[in-house]
Amino acid sequence: MAQIDLSKYTQQAKTPLSTPKTGNKSFSELLNTEIRWMEKKFAAKEKEAFYSELGLLLSTGVNIKTAFEIIEEEMVNKKHRALLETIKNAIISGKAIHEAIGAYTTIFSKYEIQSIKIGEETGKLPEVLKELGAFYLSSIKLKRQIVGVLTYPIVVISMAILIVYFMLSYVVPVFSDIFTQTGGELPQLTQLLIRLSNKSDFIFYTLFGIIAGIWVMHKTQSKKEWYRHYTSALLLKIPVVNKLIQKIYLARFCQTMKLLTGAKVMINDALDLVLNMIEYYPIEKALQAAKHEVVMEGKLLNESLEAHSIFPKKLVSLIKLSEEVNAPEVIYEKLYQQYATEIEHQQAVIGKLIEPIFIILLGVFVGFILVAMYLPMFEMSTGSF
C-alpha cells in the first residue's frame, strides 16, 4: 500500500512561501479572499472528481505534490485551480492534508476532514479518498435520479396551470358573453365555470402567492428544528414517496458507516461524523439518542437503533450480526448495495406511474372546461336551452 510521506516537506515549514505584496494584504490573503467568493461552486461533482483522482494517484505511489499538480492541470475553473494550489502549498509548507483542507470549513465538511485525518493516521489515505469519491458519486447519481423523477410532474403541473388559467381568463369569457346574449338559463356546470372564470385572477394570484410563500419559508426556515420536524413528518405520510426517501437516507447512512468502520473509527466518533452527513431529521434524532445510549449506557448500536421505527428490522438485525461477527464493513457494504438497487428500481417505477397519472389529471381539468362550455350548445341543439 502506498504511504504518504510528508516528512520531506516539513523542512519548508519554517520558511514561508514568498509572496508578492499588494497594499496591506499579501497575495495569498487576496487569493484566499477570492477563493471564498467561489466556495459554493466546489460542489459534489468537483469533489467526486478530486477525491477519486487523488486517491488513484496516491495509490500508484505518486507523491502528494505531483498528485495535486496533475489534478490542477485538469481543472478548467480558475477558482478551483487556485483553491487546490493553496491547499497544495499549505501541505508542502508542513501541514497535514486534513489540516490544509480543514482551513476551508465552508467548502469541506467535518466528515470529509475527519475521514482524511483517519486515512492519514491509519495509512489508508488512498482507500479513504476513493471511498469519499464513491460517496459523492452516489450522491450525484441519487440527486440526478430524483431530479429526473420530479422534472416531469413539475413541467406537467406548470403547463396545466398555464392552460387552465388561459382558458378561464380568455376563452371562457368569450363563450360567457355569447351565452348571456341568448338569455337562457345556463347549466349548473357552466355557471360554476363562469364563476371560476370571473375569479380566475384572484385564484391564480393566490396560488402563486402560496407557492412563493412556501418557497420563502423553505429558504428561511429549512435549518430550523421545528420546520425540519414537520416537513419530514409530512413526507413520511406520503405513500410510496416516504419509503423512497427513507431508503435514500438509509443508503447514505450505510455507506458512511462502511467507510468509518473500515477505517476502525470508534463508534461514538463514527456516529458524530454520520450526524454531519445525514441531513434527514428522523434519522438525525434517532442517531443522537443512539449515541447517548451507546456512550453513556454501554448499549450496542443495534439495541439503540431497534427502538426507532425509521430503521427497518432487517437493517437492525444485520447490524447486530455485524457486531457479533466483527465484520461491520462487509455488512454495511451489502446493505448499501441493496438499498442503492432498491432505490433505482423504485424511482423507475414511480417515474412510470407519474406520467399517466398527470396526463389523466390534465385531461380531467381540460375536459371539465370543455364540457362546461359546450353543454349549453348541446342543449341549444335539442331546444332545451
Q: DSSP characters for 14-77?
A: GSPPP--EETTEEHHHHHHHHHHHTGGGS-HHHHHHHHHHHHHHHHTT--HHHHHHHHHHH--S
Query: Is 118 part of any domain?
Result: no
* Per-residue exposure over 293-326, b if at least 16 CB sit within 10 Å of its own CB, e if not: bbeeeebbbbbbbbeeebbbeebbebbbebbeee
Query: Is 167 part of any domain?
Result: yes
Residue 273, classed as helix, strand or coil, is: helix
| Phi-psi category of residue 192: left, alpha or beta, with phi > 0 → left and psi -120 to 50 → alpha | alpha
In whole angstroms, give the CA distance from residue 108 to residue 151. Answer: 29
Q: 189: burial class by Cβ within 10 Å (0-12, 13-18, 19+)? A: middle
Is 238 in the same domain as 375? yes
Query: Is 308 part of any domain?
Result: yes
Bridge partners, 26 (sequence order): 21
User: What's the pTM?
Assistant: 0.68
In whole angstroms, give the CA distance from residue 24 to residue 155. Answer: 53
Q: Which of 108, 127, 150 is the last residue of a domain?
A: 108
Is 41 in the same domain as 87? yes
Residues of the chain with pLDDT under 50: 1-40
| Residue 101, all three cell numbers | 483542507
Is 205 in the same domain as 313? yes
Which of 258, 321, 324, 249 lies closest to 285 in space, CA to CA? Answer: 249
Query: Is 127 part of any domain?
Result: no
Is 168 in the same domain as 219? yes
In whole angstroms, give the CA distance from residue 21 to residue 277. Answer: 39
Is 151 in the same domain as 56? no
Is residue 200 within 8 Å of 169, Cβ to Cβ?
yes
In whole angstroms, give the CA distance from residue 104 to residue 87. Answer: 9
Q: 110: burial class by Cβ within 10 Å (0-12, 13-18, 19+)? A: middle
Q: Summarize pLDDT for 24-66 with one digit per residue, the tens.
A: 444 444 444 444 444 446 788 888 889 999 999 999 988 998 9
Per-residue confidence (pLDDT) for residue 27, from 0 to 100: 42
Query: Is 96 part of any domain?
Result: yes
Per-residue confidence (pLDDT) for residue 382, from 0 to 100: 65
Per-residue confidence (pLDDT) for residue 187, from 0 to 100: 80
| Residue 165, all three cell numbers | 388559467
Is 96 in the same domain as 150? no
Is 83 in the same domain as 204? no
How many structural domains is the chain composed of? 2
Query: Is 61 part of any domain?
Result: yes
Q: Which of 61, 84, 108 is the last residue of a domain?
A: 108
Is 288 in the same domain as 349? yes
Task: Give me the amino acid identity at 320.
Answer: K
Is 102 in the same domain as 151? no
Is 53 in the same domain as 202? no
| Residue 141, all three cell numbers | 447519481
Per-residue confidence (pLDDT) for residue 87, from 0 to 100: 92
Query: Is 255 part of any domain?
Result: yes
Q: Which of 49, 84, 108 is the last residue of a domain?
A: 108
Per-residue confidence (pLDDT) for residue 179, from 0 to 100: 72
Is 267 in the same domain as 322? yes
Range of the domain at 291: 142-385
Cα–Cα distances (Å) from 355 to 50, 214, 245, in that order, read 37, 25, 20
Task: Give me the amino acid identity at 133.
Answer: G
Query: Is 117 part of any domain?
Result: no
Per-residue confidence (pLDDT) for residue 20, from 0 to 100: 39
In whole angstroms, give the CA distance from residue 70 to residue 66. Answer: 6
Per-residue confidence (pLDDT) for residue 25, from 0 to 100: 44
Is 151 in the same domain as 95? no
Per-residue confidence (pLDDT) for residue 78, from 0 to 100: 85
In whole angstroms, give the CA distance from residue 282 to residue 233. Answer: 8
Cβ partners under 8 Å of residue 294, min gap 6 = 267, 268, 271, 300, 301, 304
Torsion angle, alpha carbons of 300, 303, 308, 310, to 10: 70
Which of 121, 131, 135 lies closest to 3 in space, CA to CA? Answer: 121
Per-residue confidence (pLDDT) for residue 385, from 0 to 100: 52
Q: What is the largest CA-CA distance in the chain?
A: 102
